[in-house]
């Protein structure tokens, strides 16, 4: 995995936002970029690449990547449904949403559909408690979820890939 | 009701500098830059503003602790890692009126002498990262950021740093570790960040709402700000209300309103949804003690409970709770306290950084025991065991996550022990129906 020139400019902008010699601070945002470029997950190769860009030992990147829940350390589907299951979402029926996605896509939590399209994750509070139940999909939140909304979301993902 | 933060939040175009300025934006900054930095800190002290992230520590006092050694940079870091379950107020503020935070950041940076300030925002709020960066760019183009701001001689840059999914990074020293590119393991204190913070330099970490509140404080003066509210609960507070209510959302209150009015009036939560009855409420984010309806609406002394720091904590943990982050979670009569507590225990187990054994091991035990009780496999002795474990986590960890994990479990057992016992005694029935209201709600709450 190698960053394009555009991504490298972004990396350099990120590094410049910390004082000289403190480029280690850029690990989190640069790992986000690496994950985006690497198909939604961080391979050892991708983490090593980030380490080399920031002049760090690979272990410094691994220990960070394994701590934070937004980094996927295994391949994932093209679309990741990250459904919040914490208290306030549970009250509003997140169990039912998770069960429905499982049934509809025939996968369990943490699994990816055979066609590589969808991954289901159950995650912790995303700060959308008033708009529950909800899930994160890429950079956006999908809120006030119902079974019908899940149907529509899955349908629109599929139609974009036909 | 007076609104200091969100008055213009729903105005079209307020996200952009032009509209923000047309509505009085950046006037506080202009005023502040003509004041001596220490006088700004003094105004914040006089205002009585208390940290809005959850701890409620006086902001002006926190600022006055900042060490100022020569030739050492100082930093202001905004804590936008909002992740306390039930809390979504900072998101609202940043999403709709980002310049209020940026203006507050510049004023606070000037007061503290920070030429390089950071907003540490939870990574999941990815679209808000873009909104903030755009606002910063606009501010820079208009001379509010960069070199020699408005001819004052003060230089300041603000950077947005996204996290990557870790509740613990809302704890200020874990946040600083994370900002330095490490795992979010809280530091042992002292030294406090005011002396050794970001990259070992003196640092102030403040919540989004706290920093935003500096803007109206400078505009109206600390003394005027202190006149709003009651006692040591001055100014306004953002409350994010969720759960079984008719109108979930973010509300700005002036802390003189009663809990009952907040829940039932149409101006705020609009009452319990679907004509149900109120069973319980966690008034300040998932970490604070849950209260049954009777103790929520009235204190143990029978006095009206109000939405402010003192009143919500009246009675201590025995019969009171906390204002916390303002994450107001309402449970109706159909909710199961055991299950709700289980989801919270699961949350804290997942979010424990693992440094301290009482928290690392204890949160796992609590989750497993609660799961057993919830799924009809619990024993009577489990309830006492649960109490024992939570009591041994509290106060025995480096950071407050241990306390935050222990308190919800303790309060659930304290106030809802019958419901736990009912689960144990009725393993099959408890899988089919919820315990309901039983003896918890006061006659007052039964009026839906």
- Give the tokens for residue B167: 């509740």
Does a structural domain hold residue B414?
yes
Q: Residue A156 burial (CB < 10 Å; 0-12/13-18/19+)?
A: exposed
Q: Are residues B353 and B311 in the same domain?
A: no
Q: Which residues are paired to B160 by β-bridges?
A: B119
Contact between B113 and B77 (Cβ < 8 Å) = no
Exposure on the CB side of residue A103, measured as CA atoms within 13 A? 9
Least CB–CB distance from A70: residue in B124, B159, B331: B124
Q: Are residues B52 and B164 in the same domain?
A: yes
Does a structural domain hold residue B11?
no
- Give the tokens for residue B28: 């506080």
**C-alpha to C-alpha distance for B291 and B312, rounded to whole angstroms:** 10
> Domain range spanning residue B394?
337-432
Residue of A nearest to B245 (CA): A130
Q: Are residues B178 and B246 in the same domain?
A: no
Q: Order of strands, edge to edge, in the sheet holding B75-80?
A: B157-162, B116-121, B75-80, B203-207
- Residue keyed to tokens 């640069």: A30
Does a structural domain hold residue B121?
yes
Question: Between the CA atoms of B210, B167, B409 and B346, what dihedral angle is there, to the nearest 10 degrees?
Answer: 150
Q: Are residues B152 and B54 in the same domain?
A: yes
Residue of B nearest to A92 (CA): B243
Sites in chain B below the pLDDT cut of 50: 441-448
Total number of domains constituting chain B: 3
Per CB-CB distance under 8 Å, the chain A contacts of B346 are 85-86
- What share of chain A has pLDDT > 70, as a percent? 100
- Give the tokens for residue B18: 């032009």
**Which of A73, A88, A110, A131 to mutate to probe the B interface, most B CBs <10 Å?**
A88
Q: Are residues B324 and B274 in the same domain?
A: yes
Say which CATH number the domain at B158 has: 3.40.50.11540
pLDDT of residue B439: 54
Contact between B287 and B448 (Cβ < 8 Å) = no
Does a structural domain hold residue B448?
no
Say which CATH number the domain at B302 has: 3.10.20.600
Contact between B332 and B273 (Cβ < 8 Å) = yes
**C-alpha to C-alpha distance for B293 and B444, rounded to whole angstroms:** 9
Say which CATH number the domain at B417 has: 1.20.1440.230
B-contacting residues of A 24-43, CB under 8 Å? 24-29, 31-32
pLDDT of residue B447: 38
pLDDT of residue B1: 79
Instruction: Tell me the pTM.
Output: 0.96
Q: What is the DSSP letter of B304?
A: B
Q: In whole angstroms, how far apart are CA B260 and each of B278, B315, B318?
A: 11, 18, 20
A140 contacts B127? CB cut-off 8 A: yes
Does a structural domain hold residue B9?
no
Does a structural domain hold residue B3?
no
Residue ending a domain, choose from B200, B227, B254: B227
Q: Order of strands, edge to edge, in the sheet holding A135-137?
A: A118-123, A79-84, A135-137, A140-142
Question: Number of residue pairs across A and B with CB atoms under 8 Å?
Answer: 143
Contact between A25 and B179 (Cβ < 8 Å) = yes
**C-alpha to C-alpha distance for B186 and B443, rounded to whole angstroms:** 45
B123 contacts A70? CB cut-off 8 A: yes
**C-alpha to C-alpha distance for A72 and B403, rounded to whole angstroms:** 29
| φ/ψ bin of B24: left (φ > 0), alpha (ψ from -120 to 50), beta (otherwise) | left
End-to-end CA distance of chain A: 27
Residue of B nearest to A140 (CA): B127
Query: Is the N-terminal amide bond of B190 cis, ω within 30° of 0?
Result: yes
pLDDT average, residue stretch A13-30: 97
Q: How far is B325 from chain A (nearest CA, A)?
A: 12
Per CB-CB distance under 8 Å, the chain B contacts of A34 are none
Contact between B343 and A83 (Cβ < 8 Å) = no
Q: What is the DSSP string of B427-442?
A: TTHHHHS---STT-S-
Residue of B nearest to A88 (CA): B243
Q: Is B76 on the interface with A (CB under 8 A)?
A: no
Q: Which residues are paired to B176 by β-bridges?
A: none
Q: Are residues B312 and B397 in the same domain?
A: no
B181 contacts A67? CB cut-off 8 A: no
Q: What is the DSSP string of B352-395?
A: --S-SHHHHHHHHHHHHHHHHHHTT---HHHHHHHHHHHHHHTT
pLDDT of residue B444: 42
Q: Are residues B307 and B345 in the same domain?
A: no
Backbone angles phi, psi at B301, to 5 degrees: -80, 0
Q: What is the DSSP string of B226-269?
A: HTSEETTEES-EEEEEEESBSS-EEEEE-S-SBHHHHHHSTTTT
Least CB–CB distance from B85: residue in A26, A71, A86: A86
Does a structural domain hold residue B437?
no
Per-residue pLDDT reduced to its tens digit, A72-93: 999 999 999 999 999 999 999 9
Q: Is B304 on the interface with A (CB under 8 A)?
A: no
Q: Are residues B162 and B280 in the same domain?
A: no
Contact between A134 and A126 (Cβ < 8 Å) = yes
Contact between A30 and B186 (Cβ < 8 Å) = no
Classify the C-alpha dihedral B316-B317-B318-B320 as positive or negative. positive
**C-alpha to C-alpha distance for B127 and A36, rounded to whole angstroms:** 15
Q: Are residues B163 and B282 in the same domain?
A: no
Q: What is the DSSP letter of B186?
A: P
B182 contacts A88? CB cut-off 8 A: no
B327 contacts A129? CB cut-off 8 A: yes
- Give the tokens for residue B365: 């035990």
Q: Is B275 on the interface with A (CB under 8 A)?
A: no
Residue ending a domain, choose from B227, B252, B287: B227
Q: Is A22 on the interface with B (CB under 8 A)?
A: yes
Q: Are residues B203 and B247 in the same domain?
A: no
Q: How far is A131 from chain B (nearest CA, A)?
A: 7
A-contacting residues of B 169-228, CB under 8 Å? 178-184, 199
Q: Is B82 on the interface with A (CB under 8 A)?
A: yes
ipTM over 0.95: yes
A132 contacts B85? CB cut-off 8 A: no
Residue ending a domain, choose from B332, B354, B379: B332
Q: Are residues B341 and B328 in the same domain?
A: no
Q: How far is B95 from chain A (nearest CA, A)?
A: 13
pLDDT of residue B440: 53
Per CB-CB distance under 8 Å, the chain B contacts of A139 are 126-127
Residue of B nearest to A91 (CA): B243
Q: In whole angstroms, how far apart are CA B214 and each of B20, B54, B103, B226, B253?
A: 16, 17, 9, 12, 17
- Residue keyed to tokens 């509290």: B394
Q: How far is A19 from chain B (nearest CA, A)?
A: 9
The radius of gyration computed from the CA coordinates of chain A, to the nearest angstrom, equals: 18
Contact between A118 and A105 (Cβ < 8 Å) = yes
Q: Are residues B421 and B377 in the same domain?
A: yes
**Which of B95, B343, B360 to mutate to probe the A interface, most A CBs <10 Å?**
B343
pLDDT of residue B435: 87
Least CB–CB distance from A87: residue in B183, B199, B329: B329
B86 contacts A129? CB cut-off 8 A: yes
**C-alpha to C-alpha distance for A160 and A157, rounded to whole angstroms:** 5
A87 contacts B347? CB cut-off 8 A: yes
Does a structural domain hold residue B411?
yes
Length of chain A: 162
Per CB-CB distance under 8 Å, the chain A contacts of B73 are 19
């Amino acid at each position: 995995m190698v960053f394009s020139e555009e991504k490298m400019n972004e990396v350099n902008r990120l590094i410049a936002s910390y004082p000289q010699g403190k480029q280690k601070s850029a690990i989190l945002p640069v790992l986000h970029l690496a994950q985006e470029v690497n198909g939604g997950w961080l391979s050892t190769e991708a983490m090593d690449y980030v380490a080399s860009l920031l002049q760090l030992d690979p272990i410094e990147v691994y220990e960070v990547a394994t701590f934070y829940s937004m980094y996927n350390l295994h391949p994932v589907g093209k679309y990741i449904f990250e459904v919040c299951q914490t208290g306030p979402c549970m009250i509003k029926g997140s169990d039912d949403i998770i069960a429905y996605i499982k049934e509809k896509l025939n996968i369990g939590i943490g699994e990816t559909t055979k066609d590589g399209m969808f991954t289901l994750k159950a995650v912790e509070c995303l700060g959308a408690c008033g708009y529950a139940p909800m899930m994160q999909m890429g950079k956006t939140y999908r809120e006030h979820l119902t079974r019908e909304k899940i149907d529509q979301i899955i349908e629109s993902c599929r139609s974009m890939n036909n | 009701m007076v609104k200091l933060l969100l008055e213009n939040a729903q105005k079209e175009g307020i996200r952009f500098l032009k509209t923000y300025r047309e509505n009085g934006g950046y006037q506080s900054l202009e005023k502040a830059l003509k004041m001596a930095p220490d006088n700004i800190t003094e105004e914040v002290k006089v205002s009585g503003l208390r940290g809005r992230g959850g701890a409620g520590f006086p902001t002006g006092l926190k600022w006055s602790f900042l060490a100022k050694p020569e030739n050492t940079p100082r930093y202001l870091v905004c804590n936008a890692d909002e992740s306390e379950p039930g809390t979504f107020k900072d998101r609202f503020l940043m999403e709709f009126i980002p310049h209020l935070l940026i203006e507050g950041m510049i004023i606070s940076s000037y007061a503290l002498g920070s030429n390089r300030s950071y907003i540490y925002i939870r990574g999941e709020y990815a679209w808000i990262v873009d909104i903030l960066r755009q606002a910063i760019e606009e501010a820079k183009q208009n001379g509010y950021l960069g070199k020699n701001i408005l001819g004052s001689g003060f230089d300041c840059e603000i950077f947005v740093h996204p996290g990557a999914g870790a509740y613990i990074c809302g704890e200020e020293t874990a946040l600083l570790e994370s900002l330095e590119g490490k795992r979010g393991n809280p530091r042992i204190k002292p030294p406090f960040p005011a002396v050794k913070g970001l990259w070992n330099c003196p640092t102030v970490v403040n919540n989004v709402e706290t920093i935003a509140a500096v803007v109206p404080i400078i505009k109206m003066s600390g003394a005027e700000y202190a006149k709003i509210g009651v006692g040591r609960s001055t100014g306004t507070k953002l409350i994010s209300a969720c759960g079984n209510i008719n109108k979930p959302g973010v509300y700005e209150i002036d802390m003189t309103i009663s809990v009952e009015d907040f829940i039932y009036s149409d101006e705020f939560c609009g009452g319990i949804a679907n004509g149900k009855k109120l069973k319980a409420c966690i008034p300040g984010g998932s970490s604070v003690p849950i209260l049954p309806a009777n103790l929520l609406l009235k204190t143990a002394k029978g006095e009206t409970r109000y939405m402010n720091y003192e009143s919500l904590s009246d009675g201590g943990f025995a019969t009171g709770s906390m204002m916390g982050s303002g994450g107001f979670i309402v449970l109706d009569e159909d909710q199961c306290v055991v299950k709700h507590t289980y989801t919270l225990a699961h949350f804290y187990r997942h979010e424990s950084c693992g440094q301290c054994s009482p928290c690392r091991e204890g949160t796992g035990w609590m989750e497993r025991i609660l799961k057993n009780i919830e799924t009809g496999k619990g024993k009577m002795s489990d309830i006492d065991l649960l109490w024992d474990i939570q009591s041994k986590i509290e106060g025995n960890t480096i950071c407050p996550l241990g306390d935050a994990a222990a308190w919800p479990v303790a309060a659930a057992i304290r106030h809802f022990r019958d419901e736990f016992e009912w689960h144990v005694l009725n393993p099959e029935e408890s899988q089919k129906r919820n315990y309901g209201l039983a003896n918890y709600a006061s006659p007052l709450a039964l009026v839906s």
